Structure formats: C-alpha cells, structure tokens
C-alpha cells in the first residue's frame, strides 16, 4: 500500500540534502518541495539536490521555485540569466509585442528550470499594480489594469507550460490594492465586492483553468473582515465559486508575519478553510514537524487536484535559446 501524501510543500536548509532531512521527508512524505536562493549554487549541484529530494520520497514529486525575474529570482547569474522585473518588461515592450515577449521570456525560464530538475514556477503574479501598491510587490506585477494582467499572465503561463514547467498563479484573490508587505504585517484590500469582481478577481477568473494557484495573506473586508484569505472559509469559497478556480490551491508561506498564532494554528486554520496544501519554506525541522502534524494527509479531492496538475507535466517543446533571446531583445525598446 502506497504511503499517504502529506498536504504540505517543504523547503530544505542548504545546497545538499542531509541524511536527517532525507529521513524526515521519507517519513512524512510531503506533496512537493520548494527551493530558495540558499539552496542554489550551480547547475550540477541543483541537479543533485532535486534528484535527492525526489529520491527521499520515492516518487517524481513536484519541485517549485520563485523565478519571476527581477528581485524575485532564485537562480541568478553567472549560471542563469538575469531577467527584468515583469512590469519593466511589459513597459518596455514594443507595440503589439508584449505577449510574444513574455511567452519567450517564460519559455526560456522554463528551459533553465527543467534543466536542473525544477518543474513548477510560482508565476505568473496576477496582482494588479496600483499607485499605492507596496514596493515589495509593485514591479512584480504585469500591469495596471485587469485586461493587461490577464493577457500577460496567459502568455507567461503558456510559455512555462511549453517548457514543461507548471505555472503557479498568485496571489489569489488579488494583492495589488494592499499597501503593507504581508511578509511583515497583515494587509487589507479595501474595495466593494463589485469593484473586486470587476478588477482584482478578473485576471484570476480569466486564468482559472491553470493547474495550481497560491493564496494571499490579505484581509478582504467586503467578504471577510477578520480572517486572512488563506484562512477564510468565505474567501476560499470565493476563489472556488466566484473566481471559478478548481485547481490545486497552495497557501503562501505560512511563516509570513501576516498570519497570527503558532505554525500549528496557522496550518490548521488554512486547511480548515479549504486550502489543499500548506507551504512552509525555510527548511527548519522543528517548524516542519508542526506543519506536518497540523496539515495531515491530503484529502481525496486535494489528491485528485494534485494528480491532474502533475499529469500536465510533459517534455518541453524544442527551443533554440539563442534565437529566442534575440527575438525577445527585438521586442523590447532600449
């Protein structure tokens, strides 16, 4: 009988997997893993690490990273390309060239990720940039209106999929109105339900067929004045019903200070609200033990969603990287 899969995605501490970490992952059997800059040195090292992570659970588990480009880019020079912030690329795109340029960008990012064993990217960011959007988020967005963000997000997601990498759209149901960094405090998105449906929710609704989504640690008073979306039954229902997303729903990192309580409480509340997977990123063993105990095994519905997402992984389409880079450069103004 196959072991139950834990409803969690975990990080690891360093650039190689210790025997203790491998034994822990073998025991708890997380649904997948996420990598950060602390885990990255060079391509050969990353190939070993991703292989060891999968070997620890004995299956082809999904391995994620945040490779948006700009500030949020875990694989960097000299071994990987440095990419413009997403909003900067959109701004610099020649007329009519935005979508093709973004497709090329994320197709090449997918090429770099797949070559080291990473098969999911926490992108596209479908939040809408506004005048007051906090700097931690603003230039990670694709635009200032729902239509632009939806078109850009679709191009980015399609580029990743063509390269054999699963996109993870974020931050549902929309982080752009907030003026606080959710890594440090709990933001609020002040707007009426009608405004949110017309704007913030619209890019996610347009891309609700994507396989994986990530929640936002934000309060949306029009629906729930007290609970962050990640831990709100009402907001998860909005994501499922009003936005129409039926894919695998992952929390944002549970260690972020937008959430109150200890990690057991944070995890339990997210799972009770209806999230499929708990995300814990820093690789600290004691914290992962708390998350594992509170998350428990994946539900049948969550397991089905994970299976559908993983079934979309496929060998990358062929790409001439030099030609793709030249084409992308021609689509950007100096």
Query: Which residues are designated catalytic?
Result: 183, 252
Q: Phi, psi at residue 77, to the nearest 5°?
A: -60, 150
Bridge pairing between strands 120-121 and 62-65: parallel
Bridge pairing between strands 72-73 and 67-69: antiparallel
* CA-based nearest residue to 109, from 80, 79, 138, 142: 80
Q: What is the DSSP letter of 220?
A: B
* CA-based nearest residue to 235, from 217, 223, 244, 252: 223
Helix (H, G, I), strand (E, B) or coil at 7: strand
Structure tokens at 307: 């299976």
Distances in Å between the alpha carbon of 187 and those of 133, 196, 223, 230? Answer: 11, 16, 15, 12
Cis peptide before 224 (omega within 30 of 0): no
Structure tokens at 173: 């149901």
Q: Which residues contact 188 (CB under 8 A, 6 or more apart)?
A: 178, 180, 218, 219, 220, 221
Please report where in the chains the tokens 């997948």 appear, as a residue.
32
Please report where in the chains the tokens 């967005």 appear, as a residue.
141
Quick one: CA dihedral 203, 209, 210, 215, positive or negative? Answer: positive
CA dihedral 202, 259, 291, 63 (to 10 degrees): 40
Residue 172 contacts residue 216 (beta carbons within 8 Å) = yes
């Amino acid at each position: 009988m196959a072991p139950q899969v834990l409803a969690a995605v975990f990080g690891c501490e360093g650039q190689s997997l210790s025997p203790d970490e491998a034994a822990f992952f073998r025991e708890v059997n997380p649904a997948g893993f996420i990598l950060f800059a602390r885990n990255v040195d060079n391509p050969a090292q990353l190939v070993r690490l991703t292989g060891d992570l999968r070997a620890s659970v004995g299956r082809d588990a999904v391995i994620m990273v945040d490779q948006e480009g700009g500030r949020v880019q875990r694989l960097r020079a000299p071994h990987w390309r440095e990419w413009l912030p997403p909003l900067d690329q959109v701004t610099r795109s020649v007329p009519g060239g935005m979508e093709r340029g973004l497709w090329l960008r994320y197709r090449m990012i997918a090429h770099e990720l797949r070559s080291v064993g990473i098969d999911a990217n926490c992108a596209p960011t479908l939040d809408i940039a506004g005048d007051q959007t906090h700097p931690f988020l603003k230039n990670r967005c694709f635009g200032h209106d729902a239509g632009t963000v939806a078109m850009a997000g679709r191009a980015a997601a399609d580029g990743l999929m063509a390269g054999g990498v699963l996109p993870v759209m974020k931050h549902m149901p929309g982080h752009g109105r907030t003026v606080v960094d959710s890594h440090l405090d709990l933001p609020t998105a002040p707007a009426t339900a009608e405004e949110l449906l017309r704007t913030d929710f619209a890019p996610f609704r347009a891309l609700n067929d994507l396989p994986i989504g990530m929640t936002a640690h934000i309060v949306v008073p029009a629906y729930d004045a007290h609970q962050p979306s990640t831990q709100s039954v009402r907001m998860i229902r909005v994501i499922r019903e009003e936005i129409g997303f039926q894919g695998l729903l992952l929390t944002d990192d549970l260690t972020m200070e937008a959430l109150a309580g200890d990690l057991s409480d944070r995890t339990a509340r997210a799972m009770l609200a209806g999230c499929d997977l708990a995300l814990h990123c820093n690789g600290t063993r004691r914290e992962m033990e708390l998350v594992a105990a509170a998350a428990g095994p994946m539900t049948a519905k969550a397991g089905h969603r994970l299976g559908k997402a993983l079934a979309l992984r496929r060998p990358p389409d062929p790409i001439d990287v030099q030609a793709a880079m030249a084409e992308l450069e021609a689509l950007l103004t100096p």
